[in-house]
Structures are given as C-alpha cells and as structure tokens.
Amino acid sequence: MRRPGQDEDTLITKGALDAVVAACTGMRQGANAATLTDADRDALRERAAAWRRRIPRAGLATRTIAQRERYAVDDEQAMVFEGFLLFFDPPKPMPPRRSGS
C-alpha cells in the first residue's frame, strides 16, 4: 500500500496460515508489534485447527518496506502477523470440464 508523500510502503501478504506465520517475526498486539515466539506460533495453529472443518481461513501479515518499483516473494520476511481471514462463504465448485471435440 503506497501513501503519497511517504518513502515507505506497507507490504501486505495473505495466504495459508503456515506460510504466513513462517514469514513472520512479530505479532500485532494493539498498536504495537511483539516478538512472535514458538509458543505464539503453536497457539495460532491451535486456533486455526479449531476452525479448520467449519470455516476456511488464511493468515494476514504486514511489513513496512522502502518504496521500490517491484516487490518479490523474498520481501515476504520479517513480517508482523496481523490476524486471520475467515471465509464464511465457501468457494463454489468448479463446473465439470467438457470433453475435447
């Protein structure tokens, strides 16, 4: 997210919880970020496991980063875990493929 007049951007990533948590070194606690410990990682996984069968979910993390023209997957490190994204409307099934003609 780029803000006019700023020299830093906020990099936002979302995805599978394990991948997002692996990219994080911090965890949001109110207005601040605290160090993300192994115990915190386990607690996040346990919370997600409780939702696993009922609600599709993903993790969300951010990082302040110097502005540049392009960002890469390698930039997704030292991020701050912000929370979960929960999807209450499951994806619709894919329509059947038509056989070739």
CATH number of 8-86: 3.40.1110.10
Written as six digits, the tokens of 64 are: 């302040």
Q: Decide: residue 7, CB within 10 A, 0-12 exposed, 13-18 middle, 19+ buried.
A: exposed
pLDDT in tens, 51-66: 777 777 789 999 999 9
Q: Indicate whether this model's pTM tops 0.85.
A: no
Q: Per residue in 38-61, is it b (16+ CB within 10 Å) or e — as a string?
A: eebbeebeeebeeeeeeeeebbbb
Amino acid at 15: G
With a cut of 80, say whether residue 81 has pLDDT above it. Answer: yes
Residue ranges per structural domain of the chain: 8-86
Which sign does the torsion angle of CA 20, 25, 26, 27 carry? Answer: positive
pLDDT for 35: 96
